[in-house]
Structure 1
C-alpha cells in the first residue's frame, strides 16, 4: 500500500513529519524504504541517513509515469514499510500532458494508487481546518485521503477545537504534532543544510523518533505503511553491461547532489565507481577512464577547494589531455576559472572552462527541455530530454560551444552548457532512468579515452 505525506502548501512541516515517521520506523526490526516526489536532492539525503537505505526520487517529468511505477514497486520488494514524501502543496505541479498538476504529489498518488495523509499547519487556525481538509479531500475524487496530521497544535483547547471541526466531516486524525522549537532544521540559499554538515543530527533523529511515537495514531498509521510486494524485474534488465570502466566520482561535503538511480545504472552498465574528494584528496584515484562531477555547494566551500592546489593542478592536466569529464551544476562551477562567493571573495578553481562564476541573488529554478545544440559524441543531434535547474550562480562568459538549447514551460529559450574537448558540463541536472543511452555513450567515450596518453 505505502503512504504519501502530502502538504496543503509548502512550509507546513512535511519534511520534519516525514523524518519523524522514518526515525520511529528505523528503530523497529522491520525494513523501511523511502521515496521523495520531485527533483530534490537534499530531503533524500536526510531520508537515507535515517533509514540506511537510499531514498528514490519519483519525478515523471525527469523520467515517466511507467518508470515511477517500476522504480517504486522494485524498491518496495522485500521491504515492510514504504513512505513517500510529497512536494510543495498537494496539487502543485506543472502544466504538461493536458493537466496542470503534472508531477505534483497528487499526480504521484494517482500513478501509484496509494493513500495520502495531509499535513495541515494549524498554528493560525482552528475551526477552518474542517473546510481546508474537506476541500482537499473532494478536489480530486480519484485520490484516497486516509486522514490528516495536525501540525503546530498549541494547546489541549486548541486541539479540541480542531477535533470538533474534523468530526463534522468525518476525516480521521492520524497524528497530532505540538509546536516544537528545538527540532527546526537549518537552511540556506538552496534549502536545508545537508546531513553531513549537521553535527547534531543523531540527537535530532532521536528526538524526532520520540515525538513520532507520541504524536501518531499508530493503530491507524501502521497498516497504511505496508509496502506492496508486486514482483517486477530489475530496472534496465534488458540493457546489457558494457566493458568495465573506472569512473572517478566527486563525493564529499561540496559535491553530494546525485540520484541514486544514476549511480545504480552506471554500475549496471559495468562501471566501477571510485569516490574521491576535491576537498581533501591531493591526487586522483589511479587508472580512471571517466570523471563524473555531481552537483552540490562548491560556493560554500570555495575557499577550501581553492586551497587544494595539488588536486586542481592534476585535474587541469588530466582533463586538458583528454580524460572524459561529465559535470552537472556544482561540477561546472568547480571546473570554471573562479567562483566569487556571496561575500564577494573570488577563489581560483580548476580552470578548464573559460568562464568565471559569480553568486547572485536571483534563483534559477525549474524544469527544462534540452535539445542538443550541435553535433557531438554524446547523443544524436536534436535528441530531446528533460532536466532540472536549481542554482544561484551565473556564468560571466557565455559558452561559445553550448551543450543544449533549453526551453522552459513558457517557451523561453536559452543556450546553455559547455562541450569543450572531452568536457561536457551543464547546469542541467539529469535523471538517467529513461535515457540509459546517455550514460552508455559516456562510458563508451571513457573507454576510448584510455588510449589517450595522460
Structure 2
C-alpha cells in the first residue's frame, strides 16, 4: 500500500454496556443508509460470527471483524482499508461496554478500536433508567477517556418520542453530547437470541418485512443525515507500510481444494481468513454436513468451523453417509481441522441438555455433553506442541474460546499449549494423524501461518507429510 492518506468515512457504534442495543441500532443504520443508496460496509469489533452474519442482508457486503488483540495493528488497518475501500460509509459495531476488552488491559475494546481508527463514536444509551442516571452514565463515559470522540448518542428502547426527548434533554444538558434520535421498543425489529448470542443469519435470514420495518423506524426516529455527517468528519487514514501484508499482492493459482462446512449447523468463519486462503492457493469448496452425503469431490482437506451442532443433532446423526465419509477421510490421513462445534461433530457422540446421546462421526475418540451454563470464554494464544495436519511444532496463533459443552471424560487433549489473555496456562486440542480439533476458534490473522497453509495442505495431500 502507498503512504498517501485516504478518506474513509466511518463511525463506531458503542454501548454503555452489553445488551444495550448496539446491534439493533447498527443494523438499522446500515439498512437505512443502504436503502438511501449509500454503499455501507459493516465491521464488528472483536471475535464475533453472529452479528457480522446479519450485516450482509442490510448492506450487500459480508461483515468483517476488527480485533486488536488477535491481529496486529498494522494488519487490522490493512483489513479495514481493504474492505472499506469501496464503501461510502463504514459502520463499526462495538463490543460489550465502551471500555470493556481483554483482561487485564482492556485491549481490543470499542474505545481502543475507535481511537486506533480515529473514528467518531455514537453512544447507545438505554431508556430503562431515569434521565439523571442516564446523563450521569453518559458523562462518566465521556470523561473516562477524553481521547475517545463521542460525537453523539442514541436512546434505545424508548416507549415514545416524547419520553426519549425528556431523557435526551437532560443528557445533552449535562454532557453537551448531541442527541441523534431514538429506537423504539418494537417487536417488528426484535432480534432472536439463544445461548451463544444472536441467531445466525444463515439459520434465520431476516424477513423482508423486518428489513422494511428497520428502514421505516430508523428513517423516522434517527437523524440519519447527522449520522452521515459524523462519519464523514472522520480524518484521513494513512495506509500501513508494505512489509508483510496479510493479502498477497498477486493471487496464487488455486492448487489445493479445501472443503469448508457451511450450513445452519456450522457457520463460524472469519471471512478475511477464507479470502486470504483463497488468494494464497486454496479453492474453497462449501459443503453441508446436514444435507449432503459426501465431501466435495477431490477435496484435499476439510475445515469444520464452529456453530450450533447441538441444535441439529438428529439431522447430523441421521446423515450416516456423510459421517462415514468424513470419518474415512480422517482415518485415511486426510487433513481435517475442526473448531468447537466442528470438533463436537468429529467426536463419537454428543449428548444434549435432555440427556439424549446422538452418534457423531467417530473420527475422534471423544464424547461431548451440553451444559446449561457457559463453560469457557475469553481470548487464547496457542502454540502447537507437535506436527499434525497443516500445523508444525511451534506454530503460534491467537483465537478465542466460548462454549457450553464439555468433554464427557473432562480431558481436552494436549496438542496446544494455551495461554489466556490474563496469563493463565493450560493444554488443549486433539490430534490424530492429520486431524486437529480444539475448542478454540483461531483467527489465523495474527501470524504468517495462514499464507503457508495452502502449501502445507498440498504437501500432506501429495506426500502424506
Normalised by the length of structure 2, the TM-score is: 0.91
Q: CA deviation at 1:277?
A: 0.5
Say if 2:91 is the partner of 1:83.
yes
Q: CA deviation at 1:78?
A: 2.1
Residue 53 (structure 1) aligns with: 61
Identify the range of structure 1 (57-66 vs 232-241) with the bigger mean alpha-carbon deviation: 232-241
Alignment partners' CA distance in 2, 1:199 and 1:94: 31
Residue 362 (structure 2) aligns with: 351
Choose from 267, 279, 282 the match for 2:293. 282
Choose from 75, 92, 110 the match for 2:100. 92
Say if 2:182 is the partner of 1:176.
yes
Say if 2:20 is the partner of 1:12.
yes
CA contact (8 A) 2:335 2:460 kept: no
Deviations 1:102-135 (A, max 9, x none): 1100000011010000000012222333222222
Choose from 222, 225, 235 the match for 1:219. 225
Deviations 1:119-154 (A, max 9, x none): 000122223332222221121121111011011222
Alignment partners' CA distance in 2, 1:184 and 1:243: 42
Cα distance change on mapping 1:362 and 1:164 into 2, 3 Å = closer
Describe the SS at the equivalent of 2:54.
helix
Q: CA deviation at 1:368?
A: 1.3
Say if 2:191 is the partner of 1:185.
yes
Alignment partners' CA distance in 2, 1:195 and 1:400: 30
Deviations 1:365-389 (A, max 9, x none): 1111212233556445344332101
CA contact (8 A) 2:276 2:450 kept: no
CA contact (8 A) 1:77 1:229 kept: no
Cα distance change on mapping 1:398 and 1:86 into 2, 3 Å = same
For structure 1, the residue ranges without an aligned partner over 5 or more in a row are none
Alignment partners' CA distance in 2, 1:243 and 1:154: 55
Residue 108 (structure 2) aligns with: 103
Alignment partners' CA distance in 1, 2:368 and 2:418: 20
For structure 2, the residue ranges without an aligned partner over 5 or more in a row are 1-8
Count of residues in correspondence between the two structures: 449
> After the TM superposition, which residues 381-392 of structure 1 pair with which residues of structure 2 at under 5 Å, given as runs?
381-392=393-404
CA contact (8 A) 1:4 1:116 kept: yes
Alignment partners' CA distance in 2, 1:352 and 1:342: 23
Residue 77 (structure 2) aligns with: 69
Residue 265 (structure 1) aligns with: 276
CA contact (8 A) 1:151 1:177 kept: yes
> After the TM superposition, which residues 109-258 of structure 1 pair with which residues of structure 2 at under 5 Å, given as runs?
109-168=114-173, 169-198=175-204, 201-226=207-232, 235-237=246-248, 241=252, 244-258=255-269
Alignment partners' CA distance in 2, 1:78 and 1:313: 44
Alignment partners' CA distance in 2, 1:6 and 1:193: 21
Q: CA deviation at 1:218?
A: 2.2
Describe the SS at the equivalent of 1:304.
helix
CA contact (8 A) 1:195 1:201 kept: no
Cα distance change on mapping 1:311 and 1:201 into 2, 3 Å = same
Q: CA deviation at 1:307?
A: 0.2
RMSD of equivalent CA atoms:
2.2
Deviations 1:64-107 (A, max 9, x none): 222211211121112111100000000011235xxx32110000
Describe the SS at the equivalent of 2:132.
coil
Alignment partners' CA distance in 2, 1:316 and 1:337: 10
Deviations 1:398-453 (A, max 9, x none): 6696221212244433211111111011111111123232462364234432456x
Choose from 297, 304, 316 the match for 2:308. 297
Choose from 335, 339, 355 the match for 2:350. 339
Identify the range of structure 1 (371-380 vs 53-62) with the bigger mean alpha-carbon deviation: 371-380
Residue 393 (structure 1) aligns with: 405
Cα distance change on mapping 1:137 and 1:428 into 2, 3 Å = same
Residue 327 (structure 1) aligns with: 338
Identify the range of structure 1 (426-435 vs 225-234) with the bigger mean alpha-carbon deviation: 225-234
Deviations 1:215-251 (A, max 9, x none): 1112311122348686677742368737611111111
Identify the range of structure 1 (178-187 vs 375-384) with the bigger mean alpha-carbon deviation: 375-384
Cα distance change on mapping 1:156 and 1:337 into 2, 3 Å = closer
Describe the SS at the equivalent of 1:361.
coil
Alignment partners' CA distance in 1, 2:386 and 2:20: 44
